[in-house]
Amino acid sequence: MISGHQNNSSSFAGFILLILCVFLACESDANPQYRVTILVDESYPPYTYFSNGELTGIYVDLVKQAARLIDDKYLVELHPVPWKRGVAALQNGEAFALMPPYKHIKRRPFIWPYSVPLLEEVVVAFCNQGFSLKNIDSEDTTAHPINVGLNAGYMILDDALRQAHQQNKIRLWENKDTFSNVMKLAKKRIDCYVNDRLSTLLGLRNLKRIHPELDLNNIMEDRVILRRTAHIGYIKDALDKYPYKHDFIEKMNEALQTVLASQAIEIGEQ
């Protein structure tokens, strides 16, 4: 009788242990294996920006949607930083990924690879009346160089502007962000501002809302400088520190393509 009771107890204990193992296995499968942090420019509206205590923007929404498709293995965290600090973090080996750099393979050899394109951006020059960068390659402005504003860390110049800078036809002024640049443009502390078109237009609209006394009628789009695709840029090599690197990039690219394809279909159906 005692022997039978012991057998039943052992069987019951074994059953409980089996259930516990199955539960723990399921729990393990349900939790992501890796926590992945992507640094994000905190001052690049409408694409990535920090507002009211929250990181938001077109690229932020896109990557969040993609991250949900791979959350069985990866917990993706987006961390806002000033752009130059984010670039330096990758250069110094302190971060895994940064969003949203353009492809500058020679200028930033510490970034490789880049994700699939998030979106194509159109970089343009906005200038005050009386100033233009359209014919900077043929005009001589060395006596009075044109003051051109840029966002800190965003050296987005075409060949003509780079040559003009070398020839002292233009002076470059790096300012903190888009709002700082459009403010200086409106107050005529710079003559032109080079940046993404949508970001600049949004900055001008916000400036007008906050400072309605400023006259923005003299600010006009001057010319298209270049077209570039934005990406997630990853630290080069560093497999010892990030052994999941290749797998994560592959899965994130697939997820981004899925989200981008679904958005294209939705736009086409509207």
Q: Which CATH number is 101's domain given? A: 3.40.190.10
Amino acid at 253: N
If residue 202 lies in a helix (H) or strand (E), which one and from where to where?
helix 197-210
pLDDT at position 174: 95
Residue that the structure tokens 């939790």 belong to:
31
Pair 192, 139 in one domain? yes
Pair 51, 111 in one domain? yes
Joined together, the tokens standing for residue 88 give 């330096």
Pair 219, 244 in one domain? no
Pair 219, 135 in one domain? yes
Tell me the backbone φ, ψ of residue 256, rounded to 5 degrees: -60, -40
Q: Distance between CA atoms of 183 and 128, rounded to whole angstroms?
A: 12
**Do the strands 34-41 and 97-99 form a parallel or antiparallel pair, or are they unpaired?**
parallel
pLDDT at position 163: 96
pLDDT at position 192: 98
Pair 205, 126 in one domain? yes
Which residue range(s) make up the domain with 200?
121-228
Ramachandran class of 217: left when φ > 0, alpha when ψ lies in -120 to 50, beta otherwise: alpha
pLDDT at position 142: 94
Amino acid at 181: N
Residues of the chain with pLDDT under 50: 1-10, 12-29, 266-270
Q: How does DSSP classify residue 248?
A: H
**Do the strands 233-235 and 111-114 form a parallel or antiparallel pair, or are they unpaired?**
antiparallel
pLDDT at position 264: 60
Tell me the backbone φ, ψ of residue 28, rounded to 5 degrees: -65, -40
Pair 110, 52 in one domain? yes
